[in-house]
Structure 1
């Protein structure tokens, strides 16, 4: 059974106006003034012709008539001027409101569970929320403000015009309302169909966006040229665009059918009404002035009803988009948000600069139900020790890091930090503990200093940035550029921006970790792009600067982790062997075999290089 949307159309309209009131109250005031002016204008326009004709027929004084018309004109000019001002003034603020709500979406992306952000569900929900605000003036929030305002205006005029028409003949009013009801259901059917296709459209949009974003990346650009991927990528994009076009055609077909029904109801409604008016004026039942009044009222009524139907249809569509936004923003994270006594104790120890131990106790974990990553995994990292996690690809090393950082929750078992359960602390609290260098390289097109501090330049400690760059051996290379640490990475924001090599980028990531100065340092293969000698030098420097801090290293090169106090070999989600390098070598087990194989590989590689030089 399909789950009912918990956000109704009315609820979403209230939400958008609530956001407008929170962001800028002027939007509400300007909307209210615009509504009043917009009601005055059509009501005055329908009565003005009747007044003019009645004056002419009654042979009233010309001078008096001219004064009345002049005063009326001046009033209407003022009303039109105020109406124009509110419309133009509100437009800019409406666009700013869209940016304000979009900022909340971005903030949610930064703070939501990593598991949710990484999942297909999370990405689809984000894509739908982003699309809801990505279409300018026809975005969800803008449409809600405009359509709800117009609905109030059209509804008010509908009531006023209904009162006028009912004095002619109540049956004419019933006819107008009945034909409009038919039109309403036809348009509602088309809108409901469009809403049902929203998931498919979001999925296609997500794939298209990914392809378009990926081909712009410098790294991917090399593969496109080397492997002649142009035709292949264009074919993928073409297929996705064809799917999107086909889906849109189906939606437009439903809308077209609704518009045909709308045209038929308009002809029937207006045709019958006008014939009745002509009969009434012909037999003297109404005056010429009344004829003009009723004619204008019926014509206007038809427009108001059609607009109301259109407004509601637009609101239904926009409400669906606002629901997408709210479902993403309001998504409830799994993590515990209660500030417990355990978390208070953790924060206290963090401020006291204590060292931290980390313990996994009988942890079971999997990303899905089919593949178990950690199987009854137990391991303890004592405070102030240097521990290396080694093992083949897929052994679970990076997953252990993600669990330590609180990105995921264990299926069973527990993770303890200084004896405190990580599940009793929120993600922000846990993240304060770590400085991590991951395998993935993430750089912003900002200055080198900002990419290290992750703060605006004016808030960055430039002296500390220099020290971190010197520690990782990148300072001299950075200072070769005229702007030094203020040099931009890539040329997205600056024409003088530079492109760093893979090794330089990884050194920059390590400098970032040093700048944060977390109590526990984690290095998830940060030197993968460096040669073994450079890697060994970097690790030696890290050992010097880390001092007594707890540190976790992940590396495929076992020779680089020999200095660690403990090496943990992971196999099939469990601890296979653990101990110092010397102890594990004497054990003659899995670790010894891996070490000897790698040693032989690098030895053979070195010999081949020597032969090339001979």
Structure 2
């Protein structure tokens, strides 16, 4: 994990937060982010066309309500003033009703009541629709994110910049559906504002100009701080990933034992506290600056409103406006001021949101480099020749050191090849290349004479079953933990039991309270955890479940004792007749069972042969074998 004292880039350290006054994005880049709004709308339309349509329809109805209510209020007040000037028809309500002078007034009151009641009902309906649409979209985006991540290359998960991009995308996946609701709200507010402005323009066009002058400073302030807030969020992705990492290891079942044994609780919480407080200071400083500056700018709008209000009152005193018109104009100006602020500031917020959308859609624009060929060739079944590494060289992305180079060896069809070598010799790299998690930079790998890049990825990986030492321990049922080895057959209990029997996992599973239906792990209720060796037997069962032509076992039995490992591999040899296998193990008692052994050193083949041949050569293999054997004497 990187230290928390600072990081490169940006001209800004954690020890002294320095929020830039200059906006950190050029205009061209800022404009490009608006294209994501169309992509977001299309994404939400695919999620639910009818919910989008219903939201638009409801907002159109609600948009015309405010000016209509003000108009009804004006007419009601003018009618009241008019009636008071005509004298009283009688002391009782019946006298008023009998005279018919209340008919128009009652009609106006009823109309305004319907408008207010309907607005409340429609607003509640809009909230319901938006909530359902937001959750549906969040689920859809999260699913799309998972599917896209599954298609990316392994290098995208082994480099920090890609992990930062993924972390930013994850944060946005569940929170950006509100942008479309904001856009719809903007359209609704614009319709209302146009109607209010039309009324103002008829009576006092000067007030429209005052509004425009009053709003510009407030809008500019909001726009500036929205972009600064995004800049801080974007540039702090690495530190936020560190915080998430500290949260995870500081309170998880997997790390609890070591944290207690080494007394790491205070160390981890202290590091979390330092990092989180420094980020908090940065956000706090921005919030204070934002509140002070935007508050000052917003006060200009308030002063403008009261100046306009005084102007309307003055003209009313001179008899130019009726009392109803006074109420209508003051209400219209007040509401129009609010709506215009909402529209203009809302657009700055949407502009800020579109920057965050760039985090989401920017991740979707990352494309895998390892893809299917245009015309895939069928995988050869059964194998007749085997696997050939022909002068293969490979460097991990960003590294100048060759992991392997000038590497050549053959695995005959139906044979078991063991790869032996010290850590860093290139054994796991060979497995990654054979399964096309990476492609070689030099040379080629063939299966029955066909370059593996000519196979469809799904076809290749269907016929190659690989189990790594760092296999996943799924918090699924025991049955599902094995079924993931061939997901299309995950419901085939007979096949799952057969695979478990081959890997010696069946005996483990049958001791569980619910057998193959037992939930494993401690993540969820009723979960039952297994020992490391028991988990490995389940992982090996996945390889048998795959029933592939080629099986790769990369240190899959490291947690098993020597006797259990020997039994697993002896069973493998007996049951996998005709299967081509690549085995990586540090236990030479197991390695000697292989038909052929390749000894690797510094990414190259140093020795090759059977166990007896290599022992007779007296080279590195014999030396390592004797060192290990001496430990058992």
Q: Same fold (TM over 0.5)?
A: yes
The equivalent of 1:151 in structure 2 is 186
TM-score normalised by structure 2 residue count: 0.88
Matching of residue 363 in structure 1 with residue 375 in structure 2:
no
* 1:353 positional shift: 4.0
> Which string of whole-angstrom CA distances, capped at 9 and with x for unpartnered residues, describes residues 245-289 of structure 1?
123113313422342233222223213212221222122232222
Q: 2-side partners of 1:146 and 1:117: how far apart?
A: 33
Distance 1:356 1:278, change over 3 A: farther
Instruction: Give the RMSD, CA atoms, in angstroms.
Output: 2.3
The equivalent of 2:53 in structure 1 is 29
Q: 2-side partners of 1:79 and 1:272: how far apart?
A: 30
Distance 1:240 1:480, change over 3 A: same
Distance 1:253 1:361, change over 3 A: farther
Q: 2-side partners of 1:417 and 1:516: how far apart?
A: 18
The equivalent of 2:109 in structure 1 is 69
The equivalent of 1:219 in structure 2 is 254
Partners of 1:201 and 1:247 within 8 A in 2? no
* 1:5 positional shift: 4.6
Moved more, 366-375 or 512-521: 366-375
Q: 1-side partners of 2:172 and 2:49: how far apart?
A: 23
* 1:545 positional shift: 1.2
Q: 1-side partners of 2:307 and 2:406: how far apart?
A: 80
**One of 560, 565, 569 as aligned partner of 1:530:** 560
Matching of residue 140 in structure 1 with residue 180 in structure 2:
no
Moved more, 57-66 or 35-44: 57-66
* 1:397 positional shift: 0.5
Matching of residue 344 in structure 1 with residue 373 in structure 2:
no
Q: 1-side partners of 2:51 and 2:495: how far apart?
A: 45
**One of 506, 510, 527 as aligned partner of 1:479:** 510
Matching of residue 118 in structure 1 with residue 118 in structure 2:
no
* 1:149 positional shift: 1.5
Gaps of 5+ in 1: 604-614
Which stretches of structure 1, 4 residues or more, deviate above 6 A after TM superposition? 455-458
Q: 2-side partners of 1:293 and 1:75: how far apart?
A: 16
Alignment of 1:71-470 (within 5 A): 71-134=111-174, 139-141=175-177, 143-340=178-375, 343-346=376-379, 349=380, 352-354=381-383, 357-367=386-396, 368-454=398-484, 459-470=490-501
* 1:172 positional shift: 2.2
* 1:561 positional shift: 1.1
The equivalent of 2:98 in structure 1 is none
> Which string of whole-angstrom CA distances, capped at 9 and with x for unpartnered residues, describes residues 80-135 of structure 1?
4234223224422321221111111111222211111222122111110111134x
- The number of equivalent residue pairs is 591
The equivalent of 2:69 in structure 1 is 45
Moved more, 245-254 or 178-187: 245-254
* 1:480 positional shift: 1.9
* 1:296 positional shift: 0.9
Partners of 1:386 and 1:550 within 8 A in 2? yes
Partners of 2:370 and 2:438 within 8 A in 1? no
Distance 1:471 1:27, change over 3 A: same
TM-score normalised by structure 1 residue count: 0.91
Partners of 2:69 and 2:112 within 8 A in 1? no
Q: 2-side partners of 1:356 and 1:425: how far apart?
A: 16
Distance 1:176 1:217, change over 3 A: same
Three-state SS of the structure 1 residue aligned to 2:632 is helix
Partners of 1:358 and 1:382 within 8 A in 2? yes
Q: 2-side partners of 1:375 and 1:217: how far apart?
A: 40
Partners of 2:130 and 2:181 within 8 A in 1? no
Partners of 2:508 and 2:534 within 8 A in 1? no
* 1:79 positional shift: 4.7
